[in-house]
């Protein structure tokens, strides 16, 4: 198996060819298994997307940072859209024990949406996009490149900070189980 001479000494086996490579199609790229900080020969998601300069790494850092921020915003946006698109509302009453042996009636609101509706179709498409982005971010983190890992974490943290404060939290003051 032949590797780039800047990463590992060059090993050549006479029977090794492109069709017998053990690198899983990585060519001359080495897969790091520990965290490192560098910008030479950093393969990013696709075989043709290789970072080789500090400027390319800076651009990749910004792009990954924005992708992680977008991911957090997308999660919050989907929650908001779901709340706005809930159409079927039912009220269920149930008896609960009250003070001094009395029985109180609690009413709970149950909401849902229809499967064959535009809001549900939109939620499905946004869910697919969210899953793909989450796997891209995971694979970027798994490059073990310190700069890219920091970009993922910082982008996710910034996105959460910017978007999650709008998230409504419902607190049921009648909840008896703590």
Nearest C-alpha neighbor of 60 from the set 136, 173, 127: 136
35 domain residue, yes or no:
no
> What total of structural domains would you count in the chain?
1
30 domain residue, yes or no:
no
161 domain residue, yes or no:
yes
Give alpha helix (H) positions in the chain: 54-85, 118-141, 146-163
Is the Cβ–Cβ distance between 89 and 111 less than 8 Å? yes
Is the Cβ–Cβ distance between 61 and 54 less than 8 Å? no
Q: Residue 46: give the domain boundaries.
A: 42-89+116-176
The kind and range of the H/E element at 146 are helix 146-163
50 domain residue, yes or no:
yes
pLDDT of residue 61: 96
* DSSP label at residue 30: P
133 domain residue, yes or no:
yes
Alpha carbon 50 to its chain's center: 22
What percentage of the chain's residues is helix, strand, coil (to nearest 5)? 45, 15, 40
- Cα–Cα dist 162/85, whole Å: 23
168 domain residue, yes or no:
yes
95 domain residue, yes or no:
no
pLDDT string in tens for the chain (178-residue length): 444 444 444 444 444 444 444 444 455 556 778 888 988 888 888 888 899 999 999 999 999 999 999 999 999 988 888 877 765 555 666 777 777 777 777 666 655 566 777 878 888 999 999 999 999 999 999 989 999 999 999 999 999 999 987 665 555 555 555 4
Across the strands, what pairs with 10? none
55 domain residue, yes or no:
yes
The kind and range of the H/E element at 67 are helix 54-85
């Amino acid at each position: 198996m032949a590797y780039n001479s800047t990463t590992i000494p060059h090993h050549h086996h006479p029977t090794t060819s492109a069709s017998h490579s053990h690198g899983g199609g990585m060519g001359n790229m080495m897969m790091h298994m520990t965290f490192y900080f560098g910008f030479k020969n950093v393969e990013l998601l696709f075989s043709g997307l290789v970072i080789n300069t500090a400027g390319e790494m800076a651009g990749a850092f910004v792009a990954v940072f924005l992708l992680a921020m977008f991911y957090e915003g997308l999660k919050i946006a989907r929650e908001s859209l779901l709340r706005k698109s809930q159409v079927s509302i039912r009220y269920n009453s149930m008896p609960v024990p009250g003070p001094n042996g009395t029985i109180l009636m609690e009413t709970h609101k149950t909401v849902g949406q229809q499967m064959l509706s535009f809001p549900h179709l939109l939620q499905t498409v946004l869910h697919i996009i969210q899953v793909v982005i989450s796997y891209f971010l995971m694979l970027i983190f798994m490059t073990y490149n310190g700069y890219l890992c920091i970009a993922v974490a910082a982008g996710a943290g910034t996105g959460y900070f910017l978007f999650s404060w709008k998230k409504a939290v419902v607190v049921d003051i009648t909840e008896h189980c703590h």
